[in-house]
């Protein structure tokens, strides 16, 4: 088998996209390669365009079907024709970054892997209303199989480079949808080594007319055929139960939770739910530990909805489940509101900057905006800062080597706003790998009395600064002032209106009222047990040299923020407002891998050791800490 890359592209009526797709491949720095396109009876100009490319490139091969066969057949047919040892799949309406193959091949060779994986950048065409492009990280944490499987795009073949011999063992099921599940996931499970690179990404175009984005059709139940094939292929591997629970969560439960509500027709939805209930019985989705993690990460009202919906449909009450979905969608539409202006433009930012330039204040605030791959939220974040009733004295945008178009957006923002406000950008040459390093850099760059670390994907009420600064103006020894936090989804809608029930785990009522208190007293009474500040964006810090505090937190990955807050609290008083003026954005399903939970649990114990050095823990406090450990072991399934 020759060394090189065989690039396989199934095609069907994508004349509007195929040129961009092919150009993105031909512009790669490739030597030994071939492009095999399989046309599945297109009725537009797809074939004609491909043939025009063939005239100028002998590496392009076109196969045509006599009748429509589907993606599974097309990929298998091309695989039999492929002459190189590495295989890449590209959808004909997508396109690649210029370094796509160079990075994947380098990653595969360096790490001696069977499969190399990169991120997916979801691009929405103009048939979608107000959808924002977003980069989806395809491996969080260590390069473990469970971390590659525990993503929404794990079954996609397109953001991966495969060794051919492994693919040939698990051919694509033909004439069904979701054929990728049976093949790609089988390859990931059986691969000796999977490697990840964040240095490139695959551009995945979302079109409303595509099959996956159409309203409910019973052909979607091909998912169960694919799962049956996959189960047979992997059931004998070690760790099967762990992998299978992850796969069922990502491929079936997420489908269960999000696809039926997209169908607006009540009757169609009910019929679909009834069939879904029958076919999913054997998978016992309500016993899935990852499903329970998902529920635990939702707000209380949303927890009730998801639990009730799944239970109703799982027990055969599809009519009631469909009614519940209709009620929930009505609730989201009419009662869950955006709290910030939509469709923000650079003109809006300029207008708010001009207003800011005319404001005065008795104290000055430096706003630090750490950013990493949040281009789609930058306008909203900047707007939420600039429209504060309180004056903002300087803005410092820190970019930690973003892989999206953040820097182009930041360049434009800084250029347009600089005539009116004190704003600057600072770019890292290499990724810091730590949020705390960016926080520390922000404190070193800040020049004003107080520092606000305003994470780039969050936003806030226009009353945030006025409210949180109010006690700091009265008492100069306050080192931390913060407010209550609500949780928002990717689109900016609230799904948890207050973090107080989650913070006040001892049910003390401490956060029901605003307060100012000595920091050590707060630690001894409350913050010793759990992190009582939900999100750094909710905090204003008194500017100081916190080098020692950052040094202590620098080795932490999960609980470093808690340790940092505790060490700052020791230096003075803290203030709290019970008003919910900060909005923390939760991305995706927010389910954390077991590996991260184990690490997080270990760090929580380390923080408690540090607390023990600050003061002598009482017998009751030690008992509360022990109960906390037992609770976390239970809900995180660490026993």
Distances (CA, A) of 391 to 425, 461, 465, 473, 549: 20, 14, 8, 13, 28
State the Cα–Cα distance between residues 61 and 77, nearest whole angstrom. 12
- According to the model, what pLDDT value does residue 164 have? 96
> pTM (2 decimals)?
0.71
Q: What is the mean pLDDT of residues 299-303?
A: 79
Using the 8-state DSSP alphabet, how is residue 448 labeled?
S
Predicted confidence band of residue 588 (pLDDT cuts 50, 70, 90) = low
- According to the model, what pLDDT value does residue 126 have? 64
Closest CA to 124 of 210, 208, 20, 205: 205
Task: Judge whether residue 532 has pLDDT over 90.
Answer: yes
Average pLDDT over the chain, rounded to an integer:
91
Closest CA to 152 of 119, 108, 194: 119
Summarize pLDDT for 326-340 with one digit per residue, the tens. 998 888 777 665 566
433 torsion bin: left (phi>0), alpha (psi -120 to 50), beta (else): left
- According to the model, what pLDDT value does residue 590 have? 45
CB atoms within 10 A of CB 485: 26
- According to the model, what pLDDT value does residue 74 have? 95
Task: Judge whether residue 198 has pLDDT over 70.
Answer: yes
Query: Is residue 379 helix, strand or coil?
Result: helix
- According to the model, what pLDDT value does residue 215 have? 60
Q: What is the CA radius of gyration of the chain?
A: 26
498 torsion bin: left (phi>0), alpha (psi -120 to 50), beta (else): beta
Summarize pLDDT for 484-504 with one digit per residue, the tens. 998 887 777 777 788 998 899
Beta strands of 152-241 (E only): which ranges? 160-163, 194-206
Residue 357 sits at φ, ψ, to 5 deg, of -65, -20
Distances (CA, A) of 92 to 119, 308, 489: 18, 40, 31
State the Cα–Cα distance between residues 273 and 260, nearest whole angstrom. 7
Tokens encoding 557: 């990955």
Beta bridge partners of 541: 451, 480
Closest CA to 164 of 237, 75, 39: 75
Tokens encoding 8: 């396989």
State the Cα–Cα distance between residues 185 and 189, nearest whole angstrom. 6
Summarize pLDDT for 32-80 with one digit per residue, the tens. 999 999 999 999 999 999 999 999 999 999 999 999 999 999 999 999 9
State the Cα–Cα distance between residues 528 and 621, nearest whole angstrom. 8
Pick the CATH number of 346-590 from 3.90.550.10, 3.30.1360.120, 3.40.1500.10, 1.20.1250.20: 3.90.550.10
Query: Is residue 204 helix, strand or coil?
Result: strand
Domain 2-235 and domain 346-590 have a common topology: yes
Predicted confidence band of residue 597 (pLDDT cuts 50, 70, 90) = confident
Residue the block writes with tokens 């004056």: 391
Beta strands of 241-282 (E only): which ranges? none
* CATH top class, domain 2-235: alpha beta
Query: Is residue 515 helix, strand or coil?
Result: strand
Residue the block writes with tokens 């698990």: 170
Summarize pLDDT for 211-267 with one digit per residue, the tens. 455 567 788 899 999 999 999 999 999 999 999 999 999 999 999 998 999 888 899
Using the 8-state DSSP alphabet, how is residue 621 labeled?
H
Distances (CA, A) of 64 to 25, 57, 89, 245, 562: 20, 18, 17, 39, 60
- According to the model, what pLDDT value does residue 595 have? 67
Q: What is the mean pLDDT of residues 192-204?
A: 94
Summarize pLDDT for 85-132 with one digit per residue, the tens. 999 999 999 999 999 999 999 999 999 999 999 999 888 776 555 556
Closest CA to 187 of 247, 140, 120, 139: 247
H/E segment holding residue 584: strand 573-585
State the Cα–Cα distance between residues 74 and 404, nearest whole angstrom. 32
Per DSSP, the residues of 155-182 read T-STTEEEEHHHHHHSPPPSSSS-HHHH
Task: Judge whether residue 591 has pLDDT over 60.
Answer: no
State the Cα–Cα distance between residues 107 and 116, nearest whole angstrom. 6
H/E segment holding residue 368: strand 365-371
The gap from C-alpha 479 to its chain's centroid, in whole angstroms, comes to: 32
- According to the model, what pLDDT value does residue 124 have? 78
Domain spans of the chain, in order of start = 2-235, 259-335, 346-590, 593-639
Which residue stretches of 18-163 are H helix? 18-26, 46-54, 71-81, 100-110, 145-149
H/E segment holding residue 398: strand 394-399
CA neighbours closer than 13 Å in the CB half-sphere of residue 212? 12
- According to the model, what pLDDT value does residue 128 have? 54
Contact indicator for 338, 492 with CB cutoff of 8 Å: yes
Name the more confident of 25 and 337.
25
The gap from C-alpha 536 to its chain's centroid, in whole angstroms, comes to: 18
Q: What is the mean pLDDT of residues 287-295?
A: 90
């Amino acid at each position: 088998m020759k060394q090189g890359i065989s690039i396989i592209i199934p095609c069907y009526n994508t004349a509007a996209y195929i040129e961009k797709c092919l150009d993105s491949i031909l512009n790669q720095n490739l030597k030994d390669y071939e492009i095999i396109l399989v046309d599945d009876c297109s009725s537009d100009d797809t074939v004609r365009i491909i043939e025009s490319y063939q005239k100028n490139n002998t590496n392009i091969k076109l196969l045509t079907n006599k009748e429509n066969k589907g993606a599974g057949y097309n990929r298998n047919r091309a695989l039999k024709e492929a002459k190189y040892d590495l295989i890449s799949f590209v959808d004909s309406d997508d396109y690649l970054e210029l370094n796509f193959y160079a990075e994947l091949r380098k990653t595969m060779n360096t790490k001696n892997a069977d499969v190399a994986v990169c991120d997916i950048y979801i691009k929405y065409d103009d048939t979608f209303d107000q959808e924002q492009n977003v980069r989806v990280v395809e491996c969080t944490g260590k390069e473990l199989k469970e971390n590659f499987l525990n993503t929404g795009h794990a079954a996609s073949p397109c953001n991966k480079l495969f060794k051919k011999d492994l693919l040939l063992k698990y051919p694509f099921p033909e004439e069904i949808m979701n054929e990728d599940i049976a093949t790609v996931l089988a390859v990931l499970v059986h691969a000796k080594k999977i490697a990840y690179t964040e240095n490139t990404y695959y551009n995945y175009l979302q079109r409303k007319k595509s099959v996956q984005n159409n309203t409910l059709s019973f052909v979607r139940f091909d998912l169960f055929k694919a799962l049956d094939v996959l189960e047979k292929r992997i059931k004998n591997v070690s760790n099967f139960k762990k992998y299978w629970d992850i796969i069922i969560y990502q491929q079936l439960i997420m489908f269960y939770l999000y696809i039926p509500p997209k169908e607006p027709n009540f009757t169609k939805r009910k019929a679909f739910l009834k069939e879904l209930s029958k076919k999913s019985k054997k998978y016992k989705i309500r016993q899935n530990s990852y499903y329970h993690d998902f529920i635990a990460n939702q707000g209380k009202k949303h927890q009730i909805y998801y639990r009730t919906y799944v239970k109703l449909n799982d027990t055969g009450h599809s009519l009631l489940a469909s009614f519940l979905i209709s009620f929930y969608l009505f609730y989201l539409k009419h009662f869950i509101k955006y709290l910030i202006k939509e469709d923000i433009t650079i003109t809006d930012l300029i207008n708010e900057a001009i207003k800011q330039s005319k404001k005065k204040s008795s104290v000055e605030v430096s706003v630090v905006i750490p950013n990493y791959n949040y281009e789609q939220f930058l306008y909203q974040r900047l707007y939420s800062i600039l429209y504060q009733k309180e004056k903002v004295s300087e803005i410092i945008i820190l970019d930690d080597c973003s892989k999206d178009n953040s820097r182009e957006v930041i360049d434009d923002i800084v250029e347009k706003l600089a005539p009116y406000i004190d704003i600057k950008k600072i770019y890292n040459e290499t990724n810091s790998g730590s949020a705390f390093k960016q926080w520390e850099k922000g404190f070193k760059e800040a020049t004003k009395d107080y520092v606000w670390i305003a994470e780039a994907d969050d936003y806030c009420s226009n009353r945030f600064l006025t409210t949180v600064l109010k006690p700091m103006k009265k008492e100069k020894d306050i080192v931390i002032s913060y407010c209550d936090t609500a949780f928002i989804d990717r689109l900016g809608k609230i799904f948890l209106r207050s973090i107080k029930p989650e913070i006040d785990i001892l049910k003390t009522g401490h956060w029901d009222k605003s307060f100012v208190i000595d920091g050590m007293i707060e630690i001894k009474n409350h913050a010793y047990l759990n992190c009582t500040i939900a999100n750094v964006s909710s905090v204003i810090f008194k500017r100081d040299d916190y080098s020692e505090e950052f040094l202590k937190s620098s080795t932490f990955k999960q609980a470093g923020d808690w340790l940092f807050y505790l060490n700052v609290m020791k230096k003075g008083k803290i203030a709290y407002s019970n008003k919910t003026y900060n909005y923390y954005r939760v991305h995706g399903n927010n389910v954390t891998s077991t590996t991260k939970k184990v690490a997080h649990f270990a760090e929580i114990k380390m923080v408690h050791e540090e607390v023990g050095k600050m003061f002598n823990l009482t017998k009751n406090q030690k008992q509360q800490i022990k109960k906390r450990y037992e609770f976390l072991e239970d809900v995180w399934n660490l026993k």
